[in-house]
Structure 1
């Protein structure tokens, strides 16, 4: 697939990599070991989350999740057979009784669901919970919904249950509510894990047609996970996208010559033609997009143009998430990233995903402004 020609002048040149030349394969045995917070969230903690002073729910979420994590270390939700944990019961009492009433007679593991728009720090808080939970790393799992469904597909349902049942905590980021089949699959998996004593935490995307309705996100999530709703306490996190708080507008696209020069000047950078990359993404399962971009120092794109259809757009959303997770800067020519998705997409059922992708790509484009600077 085509990439632009090499530059004829500028700093010492190295041959850039190409995403289009990559065809990652992820062995099943590596999947569980890889279920940890991505590099962007390696060092996040509750103490590094900066609540918006005008949004009290953000401070409250930190306090509640900190208490939840502490409860996991005193017998609550710490793996198979943990049954009724005193620490988690104390957390439930601090909840004011609502979650305790939902517990039935057996106590046992509970979950938290983080409800809020994009850019309010849900993933930061979810990763902070993973880090704060006192269980060893091999007994905690963190992954996106797509990564979890791929794990079930690779291991088989029963083996996935067996493998994850020994964990103290499972954190699921970006729980997808727009695929009924996958939602039922994961809901069944979580039901088995609840029985085994695994504590759960999740964020989610809202259902198509429900976006923009604010607090309906929590009701959608609890309904879609069917019989598990009693095990979750919903935490609403209000606020605006932190990536744009007080920050400048997205940088203008670079010219193609500069993109090509940067790709040759930066070791480990990838250089791809945007339409060719979109075509290549259709040949790689989205669960492998993390492996697709692993090890890259930057992504340089030429001829960025509006995405032609929704299937392509949704694949691009996943790629944007994996680039953002790994803090890979992006330098691009063509149209600006806020012109990637047409009006029909931005007003349709998946609009929240597209806005998140634009937000994250804009943040990476700011980082990319420094690439190849003389």
Structure 2
């Protein structure tokens, strides 16, 4: 018999994989209602009934809150219990990359967003996003049309975010054009705040010695030694890489390890699409000479935040050297709130448990 989200969560707690928390259970109660509604809706989704289904009136969930308090774990408990195949879970960065690739296929055609949304709806009753965040103006400008098309097609959305919908794309260029997307999210999902003072990930941290500061000759030597040990007997290359039809200079690389200088990997024309491509190709990435990026351009800060988001979600192992400790890399600027997540993830990415995870 299929487990419900609450029973699945309690089982994980009993196994010691999660820690029972009443606020998390309250959120799961909400998710369990959506779970039962989805089961009823899926039974109706046959033949012509699909075009008249009532799901467009059914709200999903927008779960937001602080870092490390279990939002993703709760969504995963919910998602794992959904017994039908018409479901899809993606990191939001990955989803937007896929959307842009689809748009290229429909270049020159009318209403490409509607066609993409309809194709999604044909195979997807439930769409789950992890870490919905909007920093890119191109994404911001198309999300209102995309959300409208998906909701109109009857797709139920469950998503996590560190930010209330009203604060998405805060201070972004041409933000008024993004406001309809916010209103659509609020209309078609129940906005729920998960509040907790506990960062559950911190309980499993053991430092693995993969962050070197200060950024001096000693740090360079330690990174060099680490690279050689990890490379083993594999041949080491110094040639540039070609990612998304653009050359990227590397310090050195093997089949599954690559080493960049910060100036190369976190400056335009780099993009999150480059980072996703690298994450799919390399299991371990070295980045040396990270400065205090508060004094860099906002483009550099935004790229660094996206880089960490992508590498964290894809479980890329990261070894880095920095001029300052993690909490001092970005101490002021318009991305200060976003960098709280980045800082937390950088800390977790040093842990042995993170390094033992499969990517």
> TM class by shorter-chain length?
0.5 to 0.7
Equivalent residue number for residue 321 of structure 2: 333
Equivalent residue number for residue 165 of structure 1: 121
Aligned positions, number: 288
Equivalent residue number for residue 307 of structure 2: 319
CA 65–261 in structure 1, closer or farther in 2 if over 3 Å, else same: same
Q: 2:102 aligns with which of 131, 155, 172?
A: 155
Quick one: distance in 1 between partners of 2:354 and 2:289? 17
In the TM superposition, residue 245 of structure 1 has moved relative to its aligned partner by 4.4
Mean Cα displacement is larger for which, 251-260 or 289-298?
Answer: 251-260
Instruction: In structure 2, list runs of 5 or more residues that go unmatched.
Output: 1-7, 104-112, 169-177, 214-218, 232-255
Superposition map of 1:78-89 within 5 A: 80-81=50-51, 83-84=53-54
Equivalent residue number for residue 253 of structure 1: 212
CA 243–302 in structure 1, closer or farther in 2 if over 3 Å, else same: same
Quick one: distance in 1 between partners of 2:269 and 2:121? 33
In the TM superposition, residue 68 of structure 1 has moved relative to its aligned partner by 2.1
TM-superposition CA deviations, 1:191-248 (whole Å, max 9, x none):
222222211112234379969xxxxxxxxx9975224533212222112333334746
Instruction: In structure 1, list runs of 5 or more residues that go unmatched.
Output: 1-44, 86-106, 212-220
Q: TM-score, normalised by structure 2?
A: 0.68
Superposition map of 1:1-374 within 5 A: 46=9, 47-48=11-12, 56-75=22-41, 80-81=50-51, 83-84=53-54, 108-136=57-85, 139-156=86-103, 157-166=113-122, 167-176=124-133, 182-183=139-140, 185-206=142-163, 224-239=181-196, 240-245=198-203, 247=205, 253=212, 255-267=219-231, 268-279=256-267, 282-307=268-293, 308-335=296-323, 336-341=325-330, 343-345=331-333, 348=334, 350-367=335-352
In the TM superposition, residue 256 of structure 1 has moved relative to its aligned partner by 1.9
Mean Cα displacement is larger for which, 139-148 or 177-186?
Answer: 177-186
> 3-state DSSP class of the match of 2:201?
helix
Q: CA RMSD in A?
A: 3.5
Equivalent residue number for residue 106 of structure 2: none
> 3-state DSSP class of the match of 1:113?
strand
Residues 259 and 301, structure 1, Cα contact 8 Å, conserved in 2: no
